[in-house]
Amino acid sequence: MTVHDPDLRPANAPPAAPDPTEAGGLLTIDLAAIAANWKMLASTTVPVECAAVVKGDGYGCGLEPVTRALARAGCRTFFVADVAEGRRVRALAPDAVIYVLNGLMPSSAQAFAADDLRPVINSTTELAEWDAFIAIKNWRGGAALHVDTGMNRLGITVDEAIAIAPRLQSENHGFTLLMSHLACAEIPDHPMNDRQIRMFREIRLLYRGVSSSLANSSGIFLGGTVYCDLVRPGVALYGVNPTPGKTNPMRPVVELKGRIIQVRAVKKGETVGYGAAFAAARPSRIAVVAVGYADGFLRSAGAAKGKPAAEVIVGGKRCPIAGRVSMDLLAVDVTDLAEGAARRGDLATLIGDGMSIDDLAAGMGTIGYEVLTNLGRRYHRVYKGE
C-alpha cells in the first residue's frame, strides 16, 4: 500500500522528501560520481585495499544510497562514526567489514557483536572493556587499534602501543587493523606528516601480521609510503578537493539550487536584512532565495569585516550575497544582471555550474566537510546514477 498521509509513515522512517514544486531548494547527488571517485582512488593505490568512510550520513549525501553505490562499485570495508551508522551500513552490505571510529561506548560491546561491527579501540580503558566482553562471550569479530601519532584527539599513546604489542604472540590477539590518523595531510610539506609517517612505521614493525592504515583522502596524495595495507578516503569521494591549491582530481558530486521567490528594487542607501548589514550603494535589485542557515547554508556566507560575501550563480553569472543569511532566506545582489535575468521561480545555483563545494566553503570561511554535512533536509533530493 502506498502511504500518502505522513502521520501513517513508520516511526523510524526518514522525513518525507519535499515535493520539487514546494521545496525552496533542489539538491542533486550523483552516485555514479561517488562510485567513480572511489574507483579512481582504488586504482591509484593498487594493490592496497581501498575502503570508504561514510560517516556523517555519507558526508551529508545519504548513508543508504551512498553505501549501496560504493558496495556495487566493489568497496568491501566501510568506516562509520557510531554503532547506529554501522547498523545501517550492515543492512545494505551484509558481507562488508565495518569499523566504528568512535570506538566502544561504556557497556556497548554487545551491540557490536549483534551486527558484526568492529570497534576502533581508542584507549586502554576501551581495550580492557572489550577484552572482558570477548572473554565472556568468546566473540571473535575483531577490532582495530588506534595509535595516536600526533593528532592528540583519540588513540592510545605510542608507549601504550609498545606495551600492548607482545599480545600478538597470542593466536587470538583480536586485532584486525592497526591505524592512526594524519593531522595535516592536506598540507603536503607540513613537517607533521613526515613525523607521523615515521612514528607509525616504527609501530607497524611491532605489529607484523596485522593490517595497517594511515592514509585518509589527502593522505593518499602524499604517495605510496602512506598507503600501508588499507587507505580510507572520505571527503574526496564526495567531490571535495583533497589537494587544496591544486586542480581537484575528483569528480563533482553535489549540485544545489535555490528557488528565487521574489525580486525587489532597493533604493540607494536602503538596507537589506537583519542588522542592516547591507546598504545599497546604488539603486539595486535584490533576489530573495528560499534557502537559509536552517538548510545548512551557513550564516557566515554573508559579508563580514575583512571578508567579502560568498557568491551564488544567477542567470549564469556570479552574484554576491547581500547582507546576512537568515534562517530560511538569503538575499542576492543581481543589479549587474540584465533586466529580467532573475525572475520569481528561477533557480539560483549555490553549488554547481563552476561553483564548487570548495568555492562556497571559502566564501563561508569554512571547509567543504562542513558544507557537505550541513546539507539540509528541506531540499528536494534527486539521486542520479543509481
Give the residue numbers annotated as catalytic, written as ranges: 55, 274
Supply 79's cell numbers: 568506516
Instruction: Please tell me the distance from the alpha carbon of residue 255 to that of residue 234, in angstroms, as a whole number.
Output: 19
DSSP secondary structure letters along 74-129:
T--EEEESSHHHHHHHHHH-TT-EEEETT---TT-HHHHHHTT-EEEE-SHHHHHH
**What is the Cβ-side half-sphere exposure of residue 240, based on CA atoms within 13 angstroms?**
25
Supply 196's cell numbers: 607521523
Give the start-end residues of each E strand in 103-223.
118-121, 143-146, 175-179, 212-213
Supply 247's cell numbers: 586542480
Kind of pairing between the strands at 254-266 and 175-179:
unpaired
Specify burial of residue 206 (Cβ count, 10 A radius: 0-12, 13-18, 19+): middle
Kind of pairing between the strands at 254-266 and 330-333:
unpaired
